[in-house]
Each structure stands twice: as structure tokens, then as C-alpha cells.
Amino acid sequence: MNWKLASLLLTGIGISRLGDFIYLIAINLLVYEMTGSAAAVAGLWILGPITSVLTNSWSGGMIDRNNKRKLMIWTDIVRASGVALIPFIGNIGFIYAVLFLISIAKAFFMPASTTYITKLVPFESRKKFNSINSLVTSGAFIIGPAIAGGLFLVGTIETAIFLNAASFVFSAVMIWLLPDMDKELQQVPVKTSAYETLRDDWNRVIQFGRREAFIISVYGSFLAFGLFSLAMDSQEVVFIQDVVGLKEADYSFLVSISGIGFALGALFITAVSKMLSIKQLMGFGMLLVAAGYIIYALANSFMMVAIGFTILGFFNAFSSAGYQTFYQNNVPVEIMGRMTSVIGVIQSIAQIVLLLGIGVLGDIFPLRYTIVLLSGFNLILSLYLCWQLLKPGKQQYFSETSAL
């Protein structure tokens, strides 16, 4: 592995994610400042999944057939331009239109970057790379909100938004310095009908899923686990303040604890990645994250929530690195864009339904019951996954020396 190239890529990813966390806070504050409406702010959270459903159903084929590095550069430029325009727009409707455009660009960037990373990083180096990538993400999660807070004290919301635009430009420059991994990409003849092309793309993904049911079963468990976790996270503020009885300052501190736990977990697996197998990262990671959520769901004090958050944050890094490596090693790179996009469509639909559903359940039943139920589902999923990992004859899916 050429770690100089990996460092360029990780630097670009890190700066871009740092900007994303600053932007996340800034755009929420800007929209609330403009409208004074909680519903308008909530709309920001629904916009991404809706865009994913509309775009990912057809974007995967385009990504697989085109140059991934160029796509990443251009989508970064589009996102930088869109973000930089926001402070000059005084109409909330036009802001949502620009945010929709930014979300479309992101829908192209994410699958393209997944495929590009798989091509750039050699098979035997992916676990190490994904461990460092988790560390970069956790660092951005911790530092980004702190920088945003500092900017709001000495500057304005607009300053934070411009900084995010600059981060996308920086990311584009870093990607431009990286090698083109698609020089030998053969242009597949496009069918006369866009519908036929889309149908064939989905058929290839469905055929792969039927042929490799074990991969889909394992990765699907991880995605379902993430959806239940997201549903619990969406009610975090209400649960901690209204059910556990803590204050806003306590909540902010607890979120920081979770981020620090993730960073420490990522740092640990980066240091000892050679000693941990992909199976161990996946199995122990998911099982102990589930245990952290169980502690959180049953918590009645600051200390219990802190213990739960520390455990789930620390072992989230294990789970994330393990599943990224498993996915990269087992999905053929020539259909990875389509696979990632199709999964994104299904995931986004489930996300919208689940987020709306937990809101309804929260009005019908005590929130404690809902959180305990979801954490129970996660525990069952983690035990199911451990059973899957222990099945005989599946070692080839977890090999770290050669591709299938």
C-alpha cells in the first residue's frame, strides 16, 4: 500500500467531514433563524433520505460506467458552489432547492468514493485503512462542533458555511492529486432505452444478492442494526431530558463522551489491527454496541447513560471498520456503485418509515418502552450475526490475503 496516497485521500476525507459537521450545525441554525420553525428544521433531516430514494435508484449504473475520480471531483465542486451560495439566498424555498442539489451531488459522491477507495487500497491493507478512516471520522465528529461553536462566538453562521464550502474545494484538490484508477475503464454501450438500462442494473444487483445470500444476510444485519440505532438516536434528546431527567448541558457532555469513545476505539484498532480479524471486529463490535444501547435504554442516572455511551461509542469503531472491510472485500468492484446505490434506496425508505414510526410510537407509549424495544431488537440482531459468523465453510468471506 502506498501510504502517501492513502494519506492524501484520508486528509481530503477528514477535512470534508470536518466541514460537514460544522455545516450541519450552521445550516440548522440558519434555517431556524430565518423561519423560527421547528418543522422547517426537521425538513432538513428528511431531505437527505428523500433525495437518496429519488437519485440512488439510477445513479449506481452511471457511477460504475464512468470515471470515479472525476465524478468525485465534480460533485465536490458542485457541493462547494451550492454551499457557498446559501448565505446569499434570502428565500427559504430557494435554500431547500440548493440543499436538494447538494444532496444529489452527495448521492453520487458516496458510492463513487466507496468504489474508488476499494480500487485504490490493496486487499490486505483495507482493514488498516478503514480503522484509520474511522479515527478520522471520529476526530471530525469531536472537533467539528467545537470549531462551529468557536466560529459562532467570534464570527457568524455564514462564516461557518463558507468554511464548509472551502472544505469541499480542499477535498476536490486532494482527490485531483490522487491517481486515476479508471484509466482502463471500458465504456459499456448504452441501450437505447434508459428503462432497459435501469432494469438491467437492478437485475445485476438482485442476481448477485441471490447468488451471495450470505453476504446480503450479514451486511443486511449491519444495516438493520444501524437503522434501529438511528431511530434511538433521533429520540436521544427527549429520552435523556424527559425520561432520565438530565439537563441540556448533561446531554452535550454525553454526546462528547460518545464521540471520544469512538475516537479511542478507532485509535485502538488502528494500533492493533493486525491482531484482530474481520470476524472479531464485526462480531464483538456489534454485540458490545448492542450492550451499550441496552445499558442506555435502562439507564436512570447520568452515570449509567455515560457508561452506555462510552461502550457503544468505543465498539462502534470496531463494527464500522469490520463491516466496511467485509463489504469492500466481497462485493465485485465492477458493480459496487450499483450495489451501494440500491442499498441506499432501501435504507433511505426504511429510515423515513422508521423515523416517522418512532415518532408515532412515542406519542402512544412511554418513550422508555420504545427505546428498550429497539435496543432489544439490536441485541437479537447482534446474536444472529455472531451465529452467522460462526457458520462453518464461510472463511473465504473473511480472508484478508486475496480477493474472491
Domain at 53, CATH number: 1.20.1250.20
Instruction: Give the residue among 349, 342, 343, 293 at the shortest CA–CA distance from 316.
Output: 293
**In whole angstroms, how far apart are CA 192 and each of 30, 195, 201?**
45, 9, 14
For residue 212, being part of any structural domain is answered with: yes
Secondary structure of 63-91 as H, E, C letters = HHHCCHHHHHHHHHHHHHHHHHHHHHCCC
Mean pLDDT over the full length of the chain? 83
Report the C-alpha gap between 295 and 304 in whole angstroms: 7
For residue 367, being part of any structural domain is answered with: yes
- Mean pLDDT along residues 45-65: 80
What pLDDT does 404 receive?
45
If pLDDT is split at 50, 70 and 90, which confidence band does 38 have?
A: low
Are 76 and 207 members of one domain? no
What pLDDT does 80 receive?
92
Whether residue 186 has pLDDT greater than 60:
no
Are 170 and 225 members of one domain? no
Give percent of the chain above pLDDT 90: 18
Instruction: Give the residue among 263, 286, 285, 10 at the shortest CA–CA distance from 139.
Output: 263
Report the C-alpha gap between 126 and 132 in whole angstroms: 10
Are 274 and 362 members of one domain? yes
Report the C-alpha gap between 399 and 27 in whole angstroms: 43
Contact predicate 292/309, CB 8 Å: yes
Are 227 and 81 members of one domain? no
- Mean pLDDT along residues 97-113: 87
Query: Is the alpha carbon torsion for 33, 35, 37, 41 positive or negative?
Result: negative
Whether residue 145 has pLDDT greater than 80:
no
Contact predicate 26/148, CB 8 Å: yes
For residue 401, being part of any structural domain is answered with: no
Contact predicate 310/14, CB 8 Å: no
For residue 288, being part of any structural domain is answered with: yes
- Mean pLDDT along residues 204-219: 88
Q: Which of 135-144, 178-187, 207-216, 234-243 tops mean pLDDT?
A: 207-216
Torsion angle in degrees (nearest 10) through CA of 96, 101, 104, 109: -120
Flag the least confident range among 213-227, 325-339, 354-368. Answer: 354-368
Are 114 and 61 members of one domain? yes
Whether residue 88 has pLDDT greater than 80:
yes
- Mean pLDDT along residues 233-249: 80
Are 47 and 107 members of one domain? yes
Query: Is the alpha carbon torsion for 373, 236, 21, 345 positive or negative?
Result: positive
Are 152 and 221 members of one domain? no
If pLDDT is split at 50, 70 and 90, which confidence band does 39 have?
A: low
Report the C-alpha gap between 215 and 212 in whole angstroms: 6
Contact predicate 69/116, CB 8 Å: yes
Are 165 and 277 members of one domain? no
Residue count of the chain, please give it: 404
If pLDDT is split at 50, 70 and 90, which confidence band does 354 have?
A: confident
The C-alpha cell that represents 268 in the structure block: 485502538
**In whole angstroms, how far apart are CA 210 and each of 205, 213, 372?**
9, 5, 34
For residue 189, being part of any structural domain is answered with: no
What is the value of pTM for the model shown? 0.79
Contact predicate 48/103, CB 8 Å: yes
Flag the least confident range among 20-24, 172-176, 321-325. Answer: 20-24
Alpha helices in 192-301 (DSSP H): 194-211, 213-234, 236-238, 248-272, 278-298
Query: Is the alpha carbon torsion for 243, 246, 249, 253 positive or negative?
Result: negative
Whether residue 225 has pLDDT greater than 80:
yes
Domain count along the chain = 2
Residue 304 CB contacts under 8 Å (≥ 6 apart), including other chains = 295, 296, 298
For residue 184, being part of any structural domain is answered with: no
If pLDDT is split at 50, 70 and 90, which confidence band does 346 have?
A: confident
What pLDDT does 28 receive?
76
Are 119 and 208 members of one domain? no
Are 378 and 271 members of one domain? yes
Q: What's phi and psi for 401, nearest 5 deg?
A: -115, -25
Are 283 and 315 members of one domain? yes
- Mean pLDDT along residues 11-18: 81
What pLDDT does 42 receive?
65
Are 54 and 160 members of one domain? yes
Instruction: Give the residue among 321, 305, 174, 204 at the shortest CA–CA distance from 262.
Output: 321
Q: What range defines the domain where residue 75 resides?
A: 1-125+134-178
Report the C-alpha gap between 246 and 255 in whole angstroms: 13
What pLDDT does 396 receive?
86
For residue 45, being part of any structural domain is answered with: yes
What pLDDT does 260 receive?
84
On the 0-12 / 13-18 / 19+ scale of CB atoms within 10 A, 85 is: middle
Report the C-alpha gap between 175 and 147 in whole angstroms: 24
Whether residue 133 has pLDDT greater than 60:
yes
Report the C-alpha gap between 151 and 146 in whole angstroms: 9
Whether residue 372 has pLDDT greater than 90:
yes
If pLDDT is split at 50, 70 and 90, which confidence band does 403 have?
A: very low
For residue 324, being part of any structural domain is answered with: yes
Residue located via cell numbers 464550502: 165
